[in-house]
């Protein structure tokens, strides 16, 4: 995503396009990807951008609140961000700390749990955890 597209994208999502947010949007939304905050901090540092860690975390939180970035919390002190907002599942390799997409068509449910009649299933997402042999 080039800077002008990032500015338009942020404005369209009711986000004030500050210089730092535009640069971060360029890095984050250039492709569908999974990353952690630490990954983004590394990319920012390697790119020589002067953006504080606090600004990075605050921007990720803002993007999440605006529903332009999805989070996958692995409950092991590792939170991934996902730019792919379409319905899909994930496979997480605990040995390599890599997260990959699984298409919705690749998993079928033969049975779902009973839920109270006052509730309705909003969506189902599967997270499969794997580890390397040996």
Q: How many separate domains does the chain show?
A: 2
Tell the residue number behind the tokens 């990959």, with chain if given. Answer: 100
Specify the pLDDT at position 51. 96
Q: Is the residue at 80 inside a domain?
A: no
User: Both 64 and 43 in a single domain?
Assistant: yes
Specify the pLDDT at position 124. 87
Specify the pLDDT at position 75. 74
Specify the pLDDT at position 8. 94
Q: Is the residue at 81 inside a domain?
A: no
CATH code, domain with 38: 1.10.10.10
Q: Is the residue at 78 inside a domain?
A: no
Domain with 32 in it: 3-73
User: Both 54 and 112 in a single domain?
Assistant: no
User: Both 51 and 11 in a single domain?
Assistant: yes
Q: Give me Rg for the CA atoms of the chain.
A: 17
- Residue ranges of E strands in the chain: 34-36, 70-73, 79-82, 88-93, 98-103, 127-130
Specify the pLDDT at position 78. 82
Q: Of 73, 94, 110, which residue constitutes the final position of a domain?
A: 73
Q: Is the residue at 41 inside a domain?
A: yes
User: Both 32 and 66 in a single domain?
Assistant: yes
What six digits make up the tokens of 25? 């949007």
Specify the pLDDT at position 4. 74
Chunked mean pLDDT (size 10), the chain, 134 residues: 81 96 95 94 96 97 96 83 94 92 93 92 90 91
CA 101 vs. chain centroid, Å, equals 11
Helix (H, G, I), strand (E, B) or coil at 133: coil
Specify the pLDDT at position 40. 97
Q: Are 99 and 80 in contact (CB under 8 A)?
A: yes
């Amino acid at each position: 995503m080039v800077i002008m597209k990032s500015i338009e994208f942020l404005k369209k999502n009711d986000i004030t396009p500050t210089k730092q947010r535009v640069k971060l949007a360029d890095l984050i939304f250039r492709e569908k990807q999974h990353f952690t905050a630490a990954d983004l901090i590394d990319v920012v540092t390697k790119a020589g951008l002067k953006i504080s860690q606090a600004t990075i975390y605050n921007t990720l939180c803002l993007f999440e609140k605006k529903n332009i970035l999805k989070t996958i919390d692995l409950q092991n002190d590792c939170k991934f961000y996902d730019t792919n907002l379409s319905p899909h599942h994930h496979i997480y390799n605990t040995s390599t700390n890599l997260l990959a997409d699984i298409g919705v068509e690749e998993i079928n449910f033969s049975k779902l749990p009973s839920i109270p009649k006052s509730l309705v299933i909003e969506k189902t997402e599967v997270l499969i955890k794997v580890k390397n042999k040996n």
